[in-house]
Amino acid sequence: MGFGPVGQLLSALLGRAGHRVVVFEQHQEIYSPPRAVRFDGEAMRTFQWLGIVGEVEHEILRVAHAQMWGTDGKPVIDLAGVPGDGGGHQSGWARSYAFYQPVLDGALDRAARAAASVTVERGWAAEALVLHDGWAELVVRRRPGEGKAPDPADQPRSVSARYVVGTDGANFFVRRTCGIERVDLGFSERWIVADVRPHDMSEFEQLQMVQYCDCTRPTTIAPNGCTHRRWEFVLLEDERAEDFVGNEDRIWELLAPHCRRDQGILIWHTAYAFRLLLAATMREGRVLLAGDAAHQMPPFIGEGRCSGLRDAANLSWKLEVVLRGRASDALLDTYHSECFTQNMAVVESAMAMAMAMAMGRVCCLLDPGAAAARDAAMRSGRAPSLPRMPGIGAGLCHSSDDARLAGSPAVQARLDGPWGTALADEALGTGFGVLTTVGDPEAILPTDQLAFPKWIGGYAVPLDGAVPGARRDSDGRLAAWLAGAEAVATRPHGYTFGSVPTVDQLPSLVAELQGAEDWTRQ
């Protein structure tokens, strides 16, 4: 349910694996307003799997620089290379990108529709969801077009499926119907968002990501791809959203300190109530939640979009192996335990500066004294250090990892081989994998263990140059990542199962992976 970016990505990944997917979306067309403006390198790695990078690269901009400005109008901290630290260099792509959402949504839409097993049904709303023993039943009804009355001839339609995934965003039908409660983490702000298409982009080239922590009106400026710019303004207590929405003169008054009316075209504006809410569970039997249906985050560093795409990547490979009969349904329990913990860590990080909720608390101080004290602390070096993006929570991960790689994003390096040089996912695939920096896994692992990662489209590859046919780490990223580990086991779609300091421990690592779930070979 829901064909926004998360539903598009999930259906595209499942469709490419050959699974029958039907998507119901209430809107007749792609929702065109450019809501999000940023994604990280981990998301770009996902787009690489779909083969859509070439379709969107003309409208994405690498973001290498971000700043916070104090209430005195001067920089207080430079966030060079941040946000998105955890997904960036490890992904094989840049850390952070600004993008124009209609371009990306169009590419994801085409990728999903290109799969013959995916059916997209637009203009349908859900009316009921019933869970049976072993299957789920969804009842939908065609929505009338805008301004039209319902057609009495339109009858409800019942669809049965192995699983139902709620990617219905703020609609929340799936979550509410299943009675899944939400955890309110106590953040609420009202903002006005405005997008401008400048006549001359060179006049705004100096504006990367800037957070003006002005106590009179906190403001965010961000590139919106290569051709647009985004401004976000907090609404003060005595202001009403309806006084701004639909009133371009009031919007231009907000924009005046940053952009003159003759410098561009106001293409879109709206009011948002930014909140921080997480569904108490992302799985209820045969129903799963992903994206905004599972979590709502303030947009200060774009983590809402990135978290939703991570949900889709995590869930897609688990549904793939469960639907193939290669793992039991219990594997899907790890979807909640891994993603919920990761999403909670994103928004609750004590290292306030790099995470969405805490970024809001820093920039939204309206008391002049408190804002001045904050600025002084940051300039004196007492600001908290910036954390890396957290890994996944407890789930399908090695229980003891001296190198602390279990659950972290797996590095995608450039590898040299018979084909030339290519990114690892293109050269090796995205299934389960085993890499060794010493010796050859073909000689180290028993036959049954060597076959295990391969039957799910995986690989066992030596990186030791002394081994014939070894792949060579051309850019040194794997060597840096695996410092202290001679072998690592990776999971599908870019995360690490675990590592061991010496290759003689590799059989025990693979044995733990084999015993972690009820794997079969159907």
C-alpha dihedral sign at 364, 367, 368, 370: negative
Residue 247 lies in a domain: no
**Exposed, middle or buried: residue 494 (CB in 10 Å: 0-12, 13-18, 19+)?**
buried
pLDDT band at 170 (very low <50, low <70, confident <90, very high): confident
* 374 within some domain: no
Query: Stretch 73-101: mean pLDDT, rounded?
Result: 70
Answer yes or no: do 318 and 431 share one domain.
no
Compute the distance between CA of residue 336 and CA of residue 343 in angstroms, rounded to an integer. Answer: 10
Six-digit token string for 69: 């400005």
Query: What is the extent of the structural domain holding 457?
Result: 414-516
Whether 307 and 419 share a structural domain = no
The predicted structure's pLDDT at residue 518? 81
Please state, rounded to an integer, the average pLDDT across all residues of the chain: 85
Q: Is 101 left (phi over 0), alpha (psi -120 to 50) or beta?
A: alpha
**Comparing 233-242, 351-360, 387-396, 494-503, which segment has the lowest mean pLDDT?**
351-360
167 and 303 co-located in one domain: yes
Residues 58-75 as b or e (16 or more Cβ within 10 Å = b): ebbbbbeebbbbbbeeee
First-to-final CA distance of the chain: 29
CATH number at residue 298: 3.50.50.60
d(CA 344, CA 278): 8
Domain boundary among 318, 350, 382: 350
Residues 301 and 420 in one domain: no
pLDDT digits 0-9 by tens, 315-344: 999 999 999 999 999 999 999 999 988 888
Assess if residue 318 is contained within a domain: yes
What's residue 237's pLDDT? 86
What pLDDT digit, counting tens, does each position of 359-392 carry? 445 555 556 676 666 666 666 665 544 456 678 8
Residue 421 pLDDT greater than 80, yes or no: yes
* Alpha helical stretches, state H, 114-228: 173-177
Q: What band does 393 get if pLDDT is binned at 50, 70 and 90?
A: confident
In a domain, 398, yes or no: no
Q: What is the mean pLDDT of residues 79-105?
A: 73
Residue 270: exposure state from Cβ atoms within 10 A (0-12, 13-18, ≥19) = middle
Instruction: Please state the domain count of the chain.
Output: 2
Residue found under tokens 């990078």:
53
Do 142 and 28 have their domain in common? yes
- Give pLDDT, residue 354: 34
Would you place residue 169 in the very low, low, confident or very high pLDDT band (cuts 50, 70, 90)?
A: confident
Return the minimum-mean-pLDDT range out of 29-43, 215-229, 353-367: 353-367
Do 419 and 345 fall into the same domain?
A: no
Residue 321: which region, alpha, beta or left (left: phi > 0; alpha: psi -120 to 50)? alpha
Does residue 88 form part of some domain?
Answer: no
Say whether pLDDT at 7 is over 80.
yes
In a domain, 357, yes or no: no
Considering the domain architecture, whether residues 339 and 423 belong to the same structural domain is answered as no
**Percent of the chain topping pLDDT 90:** 48
Q: Are 420 and 343 contained in the same domain?
A: no
> Is 270 inside any structural domain?
no
162 burial level (CB within 10 Å; 0-12, 13-18, 19+): middle
Identity of residue 483: A
CATH number, domain with residue 498 = 3.40.30
pLDDT at residue number 32 = 74
The DSSP string of 131-144 is: EETTEEEEEEEEPP
Helix axes 333-348, 356-363, angle to 10 degrees: 20
421 and 339: one domain? no
CA proximity to 353, closest of 370, 374, 376, 380: 374
> Both 331 and 428 in a single domain?
no
| Of the residues 303, 333, 350, the one at which a domain ends | 350
Rounded CA separation 337/281 (Å): 9
Pseudo-torsion of CA 369, 375, 378, 379, nearest 10°?
Answer: -120
Confirm whether 29 is domain-assigned: yes
Which of these three, 350, 368, 394, is where a domain ends?
350
Residue 419: pLDDT band with limits 50, 70, 90: low
Residues composing the chain? 522
Place of tokens 């061991």: 500
Shared domain for 140 and 282, answered yes or no, is: yes
Q: Alpha-carbon distance 92 to 411, whole Å?
A: 7
Indicate whether 339 and 458 sit together in one domain.
no
What kind and span of H or E run contains 284? strand 283-284
Q: What is the mean pLDDT of residues 408-413?
A: 92
